[in-house]
Structure 1
Amino acid sequence: MHTTKRLTGAPGIYLLAANALVSTSAYALNTGTDLNLSMKPIAGGMAGAAYTNPQEVSAALFGNPATLTRFKSLHFELGAGLLEPNVDNTQTNDGYSHTSTSAARNYVVPDVAVSGEVLPGFVLAGGIGVDSGIGADYRTSPVNAGAGLGLGGAGAGGAATLPLVLELLSFSGNLGGAWEVTPDLSLGAALTVGFGLGQLGTTGSTTGLQGLSGNFGGTTSSVHNISLRGALGATYKVAPEWTLSTSIKSPLQYDYHSILSTTVNGYEQWQSVKVAQPLEVTWGVATDIVPNLLLEVDVAWKNWSSAALYQDIFQDQFLTMLGGQYTLDAWQFRAGYSYASSLLLNSPNGSLGGLDGVGTLPLNTAVPGVLARNDLTKVVQTTLAPVVWQNTLTVGLGYAFTQHFRLDGFGAYAFSENTSRSTLALGNYQVTASEWAIGAGANFSF
């Protein structure tokens, strides 16, 4: 059901095109990037390299469930991390330049897991965590649409200023089990119950929009949904000091009802959209052939090109994770590096998950010489989907107070990267983004 409200007035198509970022911003939807195991107290210090030989039960439960056979005694982990993205978007056109800074920061990521052997060789585990999430908030630093065009009451050199808001968070409750088939072979499975929160669009005052009818200052609503996904995994010791692994996770799709408003035939109505975290396949190798030194390399492939909505702005992605841990008495010293292949499509689609439009402006519409069909999604990529960082370094430290209790912590920094997209009349949009994270946790075993 759509809630409708009669609106008055109808703008001309060229004025709409000149103010086209209104549609883009309200439509902007960003999957961000999956957290994988990067925010775990121990795995976070090894750049998330924990799909083959994890050192904590949470990484086993949320990574490769076959590795749960490593945690046969009663294990309990309680941790949290702080994730801080830093995003700047610079809009330029016809000699005009303006930079907008996203205020979406300070994301706390909880992490809880427990496991135990319930039958000989069979381990069960459960836990709660955050599997993905990203946000953008330009309410106090609005983005300029058509900067430098000077159309219809524009202020500060832009055709329109827009207070864009986006927040997508996915919480997971996991239940997993693993079976030690032989001393060398383990198989595992996990079920995820996901709880997603979604908000996108504009909220606050806009300027330079006198020629447009519709509600452009408040197009967003805050909604939620639940979903399910499954995971399968296997590990195999090819030699006492060498272990191989593989795992697969199904997509996690949320159906966000009535999340974004648009105007059709003079009536305002709410639209729904499906958003899916992608199918993921991992494989890896770990070795402790050097005494007291654990080394692991894992690779993850993410099928963004088949994920609902994301396929319009993202491409398939590889993530390579390298991590090491050196044990010295009761101390563990960790370090890691990860590399993510480029995520943003160079030429995105004109559509966004089947959404029709926002306000009176339709999506996927071209105006010769003024607006290309994918100009709006290009702006989406650089304002609300700015996942451009590729290189991350991590460090970690742990101390075992007793054989039953230990504390661990990590720090990570994703180096600043930038990318830009050019449009016809809307100008150029360049995003510069980085992020850092810290976290800690307590591990108990009995």
Structure 2
Amino acid sequence: MKSILRCLVFLGLVSVMVSPVLATNGDNLIAIGPISRAMGGVGIAAPQDAISAVFSNPAAMSFSPYCPGSEFNFAGTLFMPHVEAKVTVGGMSISDDSHGKVYAIPAIGISVPITNTFPLWRFGLAAYGVSGLGVDYRNSDIDNPAFFDFGPMGKFPLVAADFTQLQIMKFAPTVAYQPNENLSLGLGVHINYANLDIKNGSSFNYALGVQLGAIYKFNDMVTLGATYTSPQKVDYKNVSDLDSDGTDDDLKLEQPQEAGLGLALNLIPGKLLVEGDVKWLNWQNADGYSDFDWGNQWVFAIGAQFKPIKKIALRIGYNYSKNPLKVHDNFNGAETVSVQGKMMPRYYYETFRIIGFPAIVQHHLTMGVGYEFSNKFALHAGYMHAFKESIKENGTAPDGMTPATLESGLSEDSLEFGLTLKF
């Protein structure tokens, strides 16, 4: 156990040093681990391993396939976003692709029993990269700090954010309480370690939150799950000169409160499992995201696992979440917008939203496979594709007169792998 805990800490430190990712439900990954990700991100009602139980619903640790034993998971994701931007000012178009190509995201988790008779208690612990967002247009045509020349007023850049990097690493100790064969309740404490860099050096800070969960097993075929996660706010210091007064400003970003429901149907016990999840993400009331006019998201996920033989599991899934960025057509670039008490020029406010943080993908298709080498050891692999989405706004440049158009496009691919050890 001590070696596993040391490994958790080590993987946590590695995760926060990983390059930024472009996440898929807003700035969140659709799921953690190759099993849940291969099934479209489901897991509120019947996660199939310890790491996705800790992530999706801590109460589910009591009804997972490894019960009444213990399980350790290691997982990794190779995330490949494909990001592009185009800025057109007065008929002149500047476009480029973001330089970031492949990012590694590790995750690790464990679930162990505390008691062996009712009421049952279980403990879980996981560390994983859960959220991220960013682009890198440095040393490209978009990275032009003197594009606008306003004479005595000086020269100004083409965009406000040609490099952005948001990383959030989560440590989550959890407990599950099962008073009887049908009901389980869970509690997770979320400790976020977050980093934000807007081409001004990294700003690190912490946030604390909780996750509540419940599972009710009606019978061997039907399970219902529910979960709630509190908001978690981070205050980043001196990240960017939002109001162009020559002084770097702080920025608060709050991971939103979330609520979710899940239904699992074990249609052919031991062979065919179908799960569906619905989640609500409250970006509209989250500091930072609300300032940049993100709307709330409903996430719909469905996944299936089929075992043609005991040792092999085939998985497929689909995940949909509407783009949270609102379009501000016909914006006046000469106006100002209040961002946490700082008056930000409207043109740069819009480039910050559309070019710097294009969290716009909506449709995800996933698949994967697992193989049990023994009752104690299994390997898993998966693939996700997020179909390309684009966003476009029309308005004016900082002078309020010259026509300007802002465009971003994003698609994503990822490869997942993981191993399971039962003991």
TM bin (shorter chain): 0.7 to 0.9
Structure 1 length as normaliser, TM-score? 0.79
2:49 is the alignment partner of 1:56: yes
Q: Distance in 2 between matches of 1:254 and 1:149?
A: 33
> 1:173-197 CA deviation, whole Å, 9 max, x = no partner?
1100111122111110000111001
The answer to whether the Cα contact below 8 Å between 1:142 and 1:164 also exists between their aligned partners in 2 is no
Q: Distance in 1 between matches of 2:37 and 2:353?
A: 27
The answer to whether the Cα contact below 8 Å between 2:54 and 2:125 also exists between their aligned partners in 1 is yes
Which amino acid in the other structure matches residue 80 of structure 2? E
Which amino acid in the other structure matches residue 298 of structure 2? F
Q: Distance in 2 between matches of 1:151 and 1:351?
A: 21
Q: Distance in 1 between matches of 2:147 and 2:248?
A: 32
Unaligned runs of 5+ residues in structure 2 are 1-21, 398-402
Which amino acid in the other structure matches residue 117 of structure 1? P
Shift of 1:304: 0.2
> 1:224-264 CA deviation, whole Å, 9 max, x = no partner?
00111100000112332011111000011111112224688
Unaligned runs of 5+ residues in structure 1 are 1-29, 202-219, 357-361, 366-373
Q: Distance in 2 between matches of 1:136 and 1:415?
A: 18
Please point out which of 241, 244, 258 is paired with 2:224.
Answer: 244
The answer to whether the Cα contact below 8 Å between 1:144 and 1:159 also exists between their aligned partners in 2 is no
> 1:105-164 CA deviation, whole Å, 9 max, x = no partner?
3221111001111113110011110110111111122427899988669xxxx9844672
Structure 2 length as normaliser, TM-score? 0.83
User: Corresponding residue for 1:421?
Assistant: 393
Q: Distance in 1 between matches of 2:90 and 2:243?
A: 31
Q: Distance in 2 between matches of 1:127 and 1:395?
A: 24
User: Corresponding residue for 1:8?
Assistant: none
Shift of 1:396: 0.4
Q: Percent identity?
A: 25
Q: What secondary structure, in the 3-state scheme, does the structure 1 residue paired with 2:326 have? A: coil
User: Corresponding residue for 1:305?
Assistant: 284
User: Corresponding residue for 1:290?
Assistant: 268
Please point out which of 340, 352, 360 is paired with 1:354.
Answer: 340
Q: Distance in 2 between matches of 1:324 and 1:49?
A: 9
Q: Distance in 2 between matches of 1:107 and 1:351?
A: 34
* Greater than 3 Å deviation, 4+ residue runs: 34-37, 144-153, 158-163, 261-265, 347-353
The 5 Å alignment of 1:349-388 reads: 351=337, 353-354=339-340, 356=342, 362-363=343-344, 365=345, 374-388=346-360
Please point out which of 307, 313, 320 is paired with 1:332.
Answer: 313
Q: Distance in 2 between matches of 1:294 and 1:263?
A: 53
Please point out which of 194, 199, 202 is paired with 1:222.
Answer: 202
User: Corresponding residue for 1:186?
Assistant: 184
Shift of 1:414: 0.2
Q: Distance in 2 between matches of 1:263 and 1:334?
A: 49
Superposed CA RMSD? 2.6
Q: What secondary structure, in the 3-state scheme, does the structure 2 residue paired with 1:427 have? A: strand
Q: Distance in 1 between matches of 2:162 and 2:135?
A: 8
- Bigger mean CA deviation after superposition, 409-418 or 337-346: 337-346
Please point out which of 140, 163, 185 is paired with 1:165.
Answer: 163
Number of residues paired by the alignment? 379
User: Corresponding residue for 2:6?
Assistant: none
The higher radius of gyration belongs to 1
Please point out which of 70, 86, 90 is paired with 1:90.
Answer: 86
Which amino acid in the other structure matches residue 435 of structure 1? E
